[in-house]
Amino acid sequence: MLMKRILYFLTITLSVVLTFGLFSSSLALAATSSASSANSPDILVPAVQGPSVKQRLESRAKASWPWYITRAAGFVAAFALVILILSGVGLITGYTFRILEPLTAWATHKAIAMVFGVAVIVHITALLFDKYVPFTIATALVPFASNYRNVTIAGHHLGSLYVALGIFAFYILLAIIISSLLWIDKKPYTWKAIHFLAYLVMIFVFFHALYLGTDLAHGIFRILWIIFGVAVAVAIVYRLSRKTRAT
């Protein structure tokens, strides 16, 4: 029943965190509005020459669309990976079959994998068009070639570590996809061994998103991402412990 407990835990936690966040935001907005209305008399805003608010927003959206696409694709990829890992563990342990029929479960797992793969490609491609954080093909595909948010740990300069983790995860993902297309039937043991690298992809993506994700920098989404990471870690440890006991 571990998978069901994890799903229940994630659902309840998501509901509580979202409710708390929305409630806190509402209180803060109400407090700000009441304070400004109580302390400020009626203010007349003079007309200002120049582009309107709508025009400025449109201009900003046109200039920043790659960044928004990158963030959205990263969001989809991150949470698709969480579901992918949990469903994969469920397929091996059999817990997923208590919720879905076997054929539906496998088809759903493959569909989520396709969503994850497409989201990763869109995430990387959109970066090449972004002007705010300039990435080239080399810096987007070669580990440590980028200088974006260099990392220093215990006095050791590690370069763009978290960018590199994302790139390593991308190449491992390619290996998993290629092996699934070529060896799932012909070389099942090789395919299975390579498929275990999906857990390494989860680790790399977790830290890549945690320290580079704009929307995961603070607040509700960061808390959720850490909770999801812990839940996946528990599922992976459980899966590996079953394998150890079986051997």
pLDDT, position 13: 47
What are the C-alpha distances in Å from 69 to residues 123, 125, 129, 137, 233?
Answer: 7, 10, 10, 17, 28
State the average pLDDT for the chain: 79
Q: With contact defined as beta carbons under 8 Å apart, do 66 and 130 qualify?
A: yes
Backbone phi and psi for residue 116, each to the nearest 5 degrees, phi listed first: -60, -45
Dump pLDDT digits (tens) for 133-167. 789 999 999 999 999 889 988 888 989 999 999 99
pLDDT of residue 51: 62
Out of 9-23, 56-70, 85-99, 150-164, pick the least confident.
9-23
For residue 19, the model assigns a pLDDT of 43
**What is the predicted pLDDT for the residue at 240?**
84
pLDDT digits (tens, 9 = 90+) for 90-136: 988 888 888 889 889 989 998 999 999 999 999 999 999 987 778 99
58, pLDDT greater than 70: no
The whole-number pLDDT of residue 24 equals 42
Q: How much is the pLDDT for 47?
A: 53
CB 208 within 8 A of CB 161: no
| HEC-encoded secondary structure of 182-214 | HCCCCCHHHHHHHHCCHHHHHHHHHHHHHHHCH
Confidence (pTM)? 0.73
CB 194 within 8 A of CB 179: yes
- Packing angle between helix 220-246 and helix 2-39, nearest 10 degrees? 170
Higher pLDDT, 227 or 97: 227
- Average the pLDDT over 7-14 and give the result: 47
Which tokens sit at 3? Answer: 């998978």
User: What is the DSSP secondary-structure string of 121-138?
Assistant: HHHHHHHTT-SSS---HH
Give the model's pLDDT for residue 59.
Answer: 56
Helix-then-strand count for the chain, H and E: 8, 2
